[in-house]
Chain A
Amino acid sequence: MIRLLLAGTFLFAWMSACASAAEINIGYLRRSDPKSTLSLVQTSAKDDGIAGARLAIDDNNTTGQFLNQQFSLEDVPLAGEGNASAATVALAERGISLVVADLPAGELLNAADAGSPRKVLFFNVGATDDRLREEDCRANVIHIAPTRSMLADALAQYLVWKQWRRWFLVVGSHAEDKLYGDALRRSAKRFGARIVQDKVFEDTGGARRTDSGVVQIQRQLPVFTQGAPAYDVLVAADESEVFASYLPYRTWDPRPVAGSAGLVPTSWDGSHDQWGAVQLQDRFMKQFSRRMTARDMQAWTAVRMIGESASRTGSTDPKAMLDFLKGPDFALAAFKGQRLTLRDWNLQLRQPILLSDGRMIVSVSPQEGFLHQVSELDTLGIDRPETQCRLK
């Protein structure tokens, strides 16, 4: 009888030990519609973004094996009319309350509002819109992607440090180009650069790749940039991939190009190798046979943040995770030379921004000398005193 009891106790202990292996299932919402780029080498891979999340799942599971935590990822690609809010509800109904979202701003807001009553916590890895962190901020959306204003400030600090203060700004004709143009104008004013010419590049339609090649472009671009007042650098805002990549080496005056081409501010680049980044780059290359992009890194960071809060709090509850991530004990190591933390007023991740020329990292902002009373990282983007975000 005693033996039976003992055996029963053992069985119970064994079963409860197994049961306590915490399962953390993370949803990944993304648009799978292809986006064209001017440069063939920049065409994004089908798994752009989610590859980073998968690598972070592996990294989390290596840690999880010591803590009895098991992480998994559920990919939800949305094509055409695919509805992000419906997908969120479907995930929530299956008990998935942590969602990495690579969606345009409007869809992200719909998904966030659909997820809010169901206690879903989102990690925005795609949308750079400042409004998501300002007037349209949500208490259940953490932003990993840097904002346009952070990217523009990172670039502006370097250009001003370089004493390239006279800018020729060229902005595309699409809505997102205009938003980036606005961010660049704000940065110029903030850091003491002067926009000597402000021009719009109208998108008149047309294919991005033609058999006739560059003959016309070589003639059009010098003419487009002719007659500008004296300037130091041409800054282009072209998120729509219509013209910026055509600018380097084709401006009327021999001037460097920055912004959407030339020297580009970004959260990550396949050439970044400082601060131990080679290890992450090697792991990524080994697994996916391509270089790691900014979107991959943003997704990696999001899933690592989930892993970090799970291992520190021992909890899988989104509320406990959010409290930890907002608190003073959270610090993420993400190969950027310093800790990454959250701005608690709008849930934006503080991060250094790399300046890449496409082959090498030219510099990393914030630049030396741009000081701040709390964190130098808060010299990038909209700071606490200016914020319009009121988290509820």
Chain B
Amino acid sequence: MQAQIIPMTPTSIRGFLRRRRFHFTRTRHCLLGLGVFALIGTQASAFTAYVSNEKSNTVSVIDTDKFTVVNTIKVGQRPRGIELTKDGKSVLVAVGDDDTIQVIDVRTHEIVATLPSGPDPELFTQDQTGKILYVANENDNTVTIIDLHRRVPLGEVQVGVEPEGMGLSPDGKILVATSETTNMAHFIDTETRRIVANVLVDARPRFAEFKRDGSEVWVSSEIGGTVSVIDPVKHEVKKKITFDIPGLRKEAIQAVGISITKDGKTGFVALGPANRIAVINAATHEVQKYLLVGQRVWHMAFTPDEKYLLTTNGVSNDVSIIDVANLKVTKTIQVGELPWGIAISQQ
């Protein structure tokens, strides 16, 4: 999935030039940064955000205290899905065009290993213990299961055409995989590795997210432009969230990334080329507000204290910072080209 063609505007050219300058001064910063690391270690309160830049084949490292890019890590081709391991020691990034998942050491920012992810990995998820990784392989209609510690594949599950979204229930028993051309959420029993139910949703489902209490799983449909709220016990769509933004055509509203607060009260849905995040009352499933972010917003992640929500804006090459309590966009940070995924460290 790539972004739309958008002519280079003066703003994006400025951003591009800024990034070039940044690139030249980076080497110096890195050396300086290493020195500081060696002397005082990491700051206690700062979290670190990692953003995969699909076009520039890099991961931007953002300090969430200062909200500045502190490093840019070169990775494989077409980085998209990105997550931290449960022990917080590594960042995993799916580099689809290299058919692997790379493991980045969070201390050294070096790539230390690769995982046998199967072809064209895009999104993946881990179990609570951090031992098992579930990967969607878009090109051959499978979900690959990997032992993260031994770095070996454990098996695979056949699903619909072009699997993408991967959501694991909080108890780890059910994996929801969405397939983009089959238009289904497949419920997979993680123990038997068999599909136990298939739920039809709107066109091109891209992301699945469980509430922390396991009571609901939300599935976004990009082309359908909706979010299906599914009862994971009955395997039924109990509510379909739709979006209506004055002045925007239906075609421009394309639901992608989803984040739900830990208390299960508020949901955030990225609306792609509508350039907005929808804020949803997760109890009533009503849209409360639309927040204007950058162009073609893909995915998002909370800081662990849930004070901030960071979104990746694919076409404007930046990350928006949302103040969660006040529901306001407070800052924009330039990152690499076509930012896609984001993960934030827990300490």
Contact = CB atoms under 8 A, between A and B. Distances in A.
A283 interface: yes
B249 A375 contact: yes
B2 A333 contact: no
Given A66-B198, A339-B224, A59 B139 contact: no
B48 to A, nearest CB: 30
B346 interface: no
Given A275-B1, A276-B162, A339-B203, A376 B249 contact: yes
Interface in A333-392: 333, 337-339, 361, 363-364, 375-377
Contact of B251 (A276, A363, A376): A376
Interface stretch (B100-108, B179-187, B316-324, B328-336): B179-187
A308 B181 CA distance: 10
A279 interface: yes
B260 to A, nearest CB: 25
Interface residues of A, number: 28
Interface string B97-129: 000000000000000000000001000000000
B161 interface: yes
B184 A63 contact: yes
Interface in A253-279: 273-276, 279
B239 to A, nearest CB: 16
A300 to B, nearest CB: 10
A275 B225 contact: no
A377 B161 CA distance: 27
A200 interface: no
A282 interface: yes
A205 B43 CA distance: 80
Contact of A274 (B5, B160, B202): B5
A375 B222 CA distance: 17
Nearest to B254: A338
Given A311-B183, A338-B251, A276 B195 contact: no
Contacts of B254: 338
A114 interface: no
Interface residues of B, number: 34
A282 B250 CA distance: 29
A332 interface: yes
A87 B80 CA distance: 49
Interface in B132-184: 138-139, 141, 160-162, 180-184
B203 A332 contact: yes
Given A276-B1, A276-B180, A363-B5, A333 B222 contact: yes
Contacts of B120: 279
A43 interface: no
Interface string B290-302: 0000000000000
B200 A62 contact: no
Contacts of A63: 160-161, 181-184
B204 interface: yes
A339 B225 contact: yes
Contacts of B180: 276, 333
Contacts of B252: 338
B205 to A, nearest CB: 10
A332 B161 CA distance: 14
22 contacts: A59-B182, A62-B161, A63-B181, A66-B184, A274-B5, A275-B2, A276-B1, A276-B2, A276-B180, A279-B139, A279-B162, A308-B183, A331-B202, A331-B223, A331-B224, A333-B180, A333-B181, A337-B4, A338-B223, A364-B4, A364-B5, A376-B249
Interface of B: 1-5, 120, 138-139, 141, 160-162, 180-184, 186, 195, 198, 200, 202-204, 222-225, 249-252, 254, 273
Rank and list the top 4 A-B pairs by shortest CB-CB distance, nearest first: A333-B223, A333-B204, A338-B251, A63-B182
